[in-house]
Amino acid sequence: MDRYLEGKTALVTGSVQGIGLAIAKELATLGARIAVHGLANAETLAEAEAVITDAGAPECRTFDADLRDIAAIEAMMGAIAEWRGPDILVNNAGIQQTVSFAEATVEIWDAIIAVNLSGAFHTMRQALPGMGGRGYGRVINIASVHGLVASVNKSPYVAAKFGLVGMSKVAALEYAAQGSRETGGVTVNCICPGWTETAIIEPQIVDRAGESGGDREAGIASLLSEKQPSLRTSDPAEIGMLAGWLCHPRAHNINGAAIPVDGAWTAQ
């Protein structure tokens, strides 16, 4: 295997499970050192580190910064800078709560915007100058189809994800001329998954399953039939593989993109 990320350091936020763990595992396979991030118990963190190390990471270190806390983000980024990085930043951490405008509270709005949007801004503003100076850098923001289209009862989440896509385009423009084809350049892109088998969609599966007498598979089928024409969920590993390709030096001109992985959801 071409370990084209050897010598690179990657921070993947929210990397103790789901899409984040799958991305961290893929980047480890490609040779990157991994800064694991997540708010989890010691056992869960240790399990994630073991998976990533077994995948081939030459070094693995865990950070537990609360992304609602700017000082904690700054401390984390400073510590990672001691590794000479991050060369790759994947903003994957996110929270979601389905709630109507009438039922939404200030607390729900503030929490979702803080983690899903502001947290990414604060990691990016500290990581991008170093990437520009080195001539290579990758920012991959895990947005969502809800950064491209809306759904009812998701106003805070949709607002955060649309904002993440827009902010990524601005950063791509600002850093597009940094580096070269030879160094790999600096790129900022979004991956926009549709229904993917992760914990974040589990509450919606449970709700739909309840409409079908508790049948989980029927709940998943109900979600898919409403939005995702392929009628198949994505596996987190598939998102990981796309992230890995975006980090390749040859992907230097894939920049400012918002790439849907949604079974043609946003093609409708």
The predicted structure's pLDDT at residue 82: 92
Check whether residue 220 and residue 111 sit in a common domain: no
In a domain, 83, yes or no: yes
- Other beta carbons within 10 angstroms of residue 213's beta carbon come to 7
Q: Residue 157: its pLDDT value, please?
A: 97
* Cis ω for the linkage preceding 203 (within 30 of 0): no
Do 187 and 201 fall into the same domain?
A: no
Angle at alpha carbon of residue 260, lines to 109 and 108, rounded to 5°: 10
- Domain match, 139 and 164 both: yes
* Predicted local confidence at residue 268, as pLDDT: 93
Supply the range of the domain harboring residue 214.
197-233
Please indicate, yes or no, if residue 147 is contained in any of the structural domains.
yes
* Secondary structure letter of residue 267 according to DSSP: G
Same domain for 214 and 87? Answer: no
Let me know whether 189 and 148 are in one domain.
yes
pLDDT at 45: 94
Task: Give CA–CA dist 94/197, Å, rounded.
Answer: 15
Answer whether residue 108 is part of any domain.
yes
Which pLDDT value is given to residue 89?
Answer: 98
Residues 6+ apart with CB under 8 A from 106: none
Residues 71 and 125 in one domain: yes
Same domain membership, residue 62 and residue 182: yes
- In a domain? residue 4: no
Q: Is the domain of 112 the same as that of 213?
A: no
Total domains in the fold of the chain: 2
In a domain, 2, yes or no: no
Domain shared by 100 and 202, yes or no: no
- The CATH number of residue 116's host domain is 3.40.50.720
Tell me if 28 is assigned to some domain: yes
Alpha helix positions (H), the chain:
18-29, 42-55, 70-81, 106-113, 119-134, 155-175, 202-210, 216-227, 236-246
Residues 124 and 154 in one domain: yes
- Give me the pLDDT at residue 155, please: 97
Q: Are strands 136-142 and 33-37 parallel, antiparallel or unpaired?
A: unpaired
Active-site amino acid positions: 157
* Angstrom distances, CA of residue 259 to CA of 63, 65, 143, 244, 264: 28, 28, 9, 14, 11
Q: What string of pLDDT tens digits covers the 268 residues of the chain?
A: 699 999 999 999 999 999 999 999 999 999 999 999 999 999 999 999 999 999 999 999 999 999 999 999 999 999 999 998 899 999 999 999 999 999 999 999 999 999 999 999 999 999 999 999 999 999 999 999 999 999 999 999 999 999 999 999 999 999 999 999 999 999 999 999 999 988 777 887 888 888 878 788 888 888 888 899 999 999 999 999 999 999 999 999 999 999 999 999 999 9
Check residue 211 and give its pLDDT: 82
- Can you give the pLDDT at residue 131? 98
Q: Are residues 135 and 157 in the same domain?
A: yes
| Residue appearing with tokens 């994800």 | 161
Distance CA 140, CA 12 (A): 9
Same structural domain for residues 130 and 201? Answer: no
In-domain check, residue 1: no
